[in-house]
Structure 1
Amino acid sequence: MEDEKSKLKEALTFETQLKHLMIDKKLKVGNKSNALKVLKKENYYRLSGYWINFVDNNDIFYQYITFEQIYSIYKFDKVLRGMIIEIINDVEVYFKTRLANYFSLAYGADGYMDDSNFKEIAKNKHRNLLKKIEDLKNNNPNNLIIKHHKTKYGGDMPLWVVIELLSFGNVSKLFSMMTNEDKKNMVKQSYKNISYTYIESFYHAIAYFRNQCCHFHRLYDVKHTIKMLLYKTPFYDPDKDNSSTFYFIYVIILLNPNHDLGKRLIFRLLSEFKKTKVDKKKYGFPYNWKEILEKANGYCIDIH
């Protein structure tokens, strides 16, 4: 006999949602009017991800927590995601720029289309990537870049153009398909204080982390499922902590080509921590996080 499915919960008005929190779940609310406004603009289910650590086994809130405290954490998470995405954008552009330049000089503008320029074991992945590129062309016929190259070059595109159409994740896959010798040479030309094995691990994870941030995933009190290699520097030893939000920020800052943007991130973190009084440990921040990030800012980038 099949197990019976549980019945879906009934939809609630915003006013009833607030009453449910206050009466049924015993949540303290300092300003009911403001709380109602929050529920009207932020999905109840989205907010619920931030209070799972503040309820007992009966789903009742602990007496010390308030709606305002939970919303403060939620807002900090939102600001943090925005700051991280801003830096990742520059990290991504730098990676794409240096990869396209190295590979094109080594194998020609369209050398990426020849599977003999990649690892022998990567033939299937290479075939899938070329299909992805063709799909992008076919699905975006009105894209000005695609239209221009179809008219003038019969649809052929050099790598430095193609790479702008590919997602961060697909570019990290392209790097992983390169021969170890090419990875080593590219990293030597574009980075310092780091080997290609770390670069491969880091960019794969950063692509994942960017998606987490873009899709509003919670960063507070989370152990990220994707693990990076542990990277020890003279100023920081992660000591097996490669799944915290702080470790991801640390790695992103290491690969940040925009020093001023990195400094701005640190300043904004200081400001937000003071304003919200969020528990930094829930993000994996060590006590000397500011000093670590200041020294990590662009530590692995070599622009000369």
Structure 2
Amino acid sequence: MLKLAGFFCPLIGVRMTHYRKPPLSIQAQLELLQQRGLVIGDAANAKRYLQRVGYYRLMGYFYTQRVPGSDHFREQATFEEAISLYEFDRGLRDLVMEAVGHIEIAARTVLTYHFAHAHGAFGHLEPRNLTFTEQDHADWLTGVESEVTRSKEAFVRHYRDRYTSPAFPKVPIWMATEVMSLGSLSRFYRALHNREQKTVAGEMQMAAPVFANWLHVTSVARNVVAHHGRLWNKELGVSAVRPRSAGWSEL
């Protein structure tokens, strides 16, 4: 039984504590930062960032200036240094999104071309053409068809309005890959049979395991950037594999 006053949960053996922090005005946020030792050179500019960017989002850029294990800042920590990092990160996100766009389009095109020629327009509907388990294939396909259903693309509407077999939201692979998320595309590639993985990766001039890894990392990074998340000094939870082939070792 979970008691909420004082409060201890025997089910998990952890003492629970209510979150009681109230919302703070912009002025109160500024004063709190100053009380914790942050130097603010331009209060008016700091207020503008707190109003337009937000205290909680900016905390990720204050982190390296804080005393470890404390809410207080180290000596000479400044609001301006955090803003400099925020602006750098904003530019970094723009560069990453542009690079991801090139990678994403090329991956969609090459993967679709080879899979369609190997298995036909609706080959992705057949579990035998992929290495998914039966349940994983069903889950992946449900996700793809959900993305197809949500799409507003003219070619998706055209298929829905004109063709009855296979019934919408089942669409040809070259339509599905255009609207599926990069995460779904990454899973699709990893489910290809080994021979097809090598063919696709070979056209991208890398080994199949490396290409699979890079698609996954790109998908994770894209999600961060697309939601305007902090990319600087962030652990993505996945690491890019360095290719062993000639030409990469010098990078």
Tell me if TM exceeds 0.5.
yes
For 1:139 and 1:161, the matched residues in 2 are separated by 13
Is there any run of 5+ residues in structure 2 with no aligned partner, and where? 1-6, 9-14
Q: TM-score, normalised by structure 2?
A: 0.85
Give secondary structure in 2 for the equivalent of 1:49: helix
Question: How far apart are 1:99 and its partner, in Å?
Answer: 0.6
Q: Select the structure with the greater relative contact order (CA < 8 A; seq sep ≥ 6).
A: 1
Q: Which among 73, 97, 109 is matched to residue 85 of structure 1?
A: 97
Tell me the equivalent position of 1:164: 178
Alpha-carbon spacing, 1:143–1:191, altered in 2? closer, same or farther (3 Å): closer
Q: 2:161 aligns with which of 151, 159, 184?
A: 151
Cα deviation for residue 124 of structure 1 reads 2.5
**Aligned counterpart in structure 2 of residue 191 of structure 1, from 192, 204, 215:** 204
Query: Which deviations, in whole Å up to 9, do the C-alpha atoms of 1:51-85 show, x marking residues without a partner?
Result: 12212244221222211111100111111012101
Q: 2:123 aligns with which of 111, 115, 119?
A: 111
Q: How does 1:203-222 map to 2 (within 5 A)?
A: 203-222=215-234
Counterpart Cα distance in 2 of 1:166 and 1:223:
25
User: Cα 1:92–1:66, aligned 2, differ >3 Å: closer, same or farther?
Assistant: same
Q: Sequence identity, in percent?
A: 24
Amino acid at match of 2:181: S
- Quote the residue 1:178 is aligned against: 192
Runs (4+) of structure 1 exceeding 3 A deviation are 136-140, 232-237
What's the offset of the Cα at 1:234?
4.9
CA RMSD, 1 decimal: 2.1
Q: Which segment is superposed worse, 204-213 or 123-132?
A: 123-132
Q: In structure 1, what is the Cα distance between the partners aligned to 2:83 and 2:46?
A: 9
Q: What is the number of equivalent residue pairs in this alignment? A: 234
The alpha-carbon deviation at position 150 of structure 1 amounts to 1.6
1:270-304 CA distance string (max 9 Å, x none) = xxxxxxxxxxxxxxxxxxxxx94xxxxxxxxxxxx
Whether the 8 Å CA contact 2:144–2:184 is kept in 1: the answer is no
- Aligned: 1:95 with 2:107: yes
1:184–1:7: structure 2 CA closer, same or farther, 3 Å change rule? Answer: closer
Residue type of the partner of 2:138? Answer: R
Contact 1:109 1:159 (8 Å CA) reproduced: yes
The one-letter code of the counterpart of 1:191 is M
Q: Residue deviations 1:201-234, cap 9 Å, x none?
A: 1101211111122223323333431133332465
Aligned amino acid, residue 171 of structure 2: M
CA apart distance, 1:36: 1.1
What is the one-letter code of the residue matched to 2:134?
K
Aligned mates of 2:59, 2:72 — CA distance in 1: 13
Say which is worse superposed, 46-55 or 164-173, in terms of deviation. Answer: 46-55
Counterpart selection for 2:135 from 110, 124, 132: 124
Instruction: Pick the structure with more helix per residue.
Output: 1
* Alignment CA distance shift 1:234-1:185 (3 Å): closer
Residue 42, structure 1, aligned to residue 56, structure 2:
no
Mark the runs of 5 or more structure 1 residues left unpaired by the alignment.
238-290, 293-304
Tell me which residue corresponds to 1:230.
242
Residue 17 (1) aligns with residue 29 (2): yes
Which TM-score applies when normalising by structure 1? 0.71
Residues 114-163 of structure 1 show CA distances to partners (whole Å, capped at 9, x for unaligned) of 222122x53322222222233334445x6533221022222352211111
Whole-angstrom distance in 2 between the partners of 1:129 and 1:70: 41
For residues 242 and 16 of structure 2, the distance between their equivalents in structure 1, rounded to whole angstroms, comes to 46
Name the structure 1 match of 2:73: 61
**CA shift in 2, pair 1:234/1:135, >3 Å:** closer
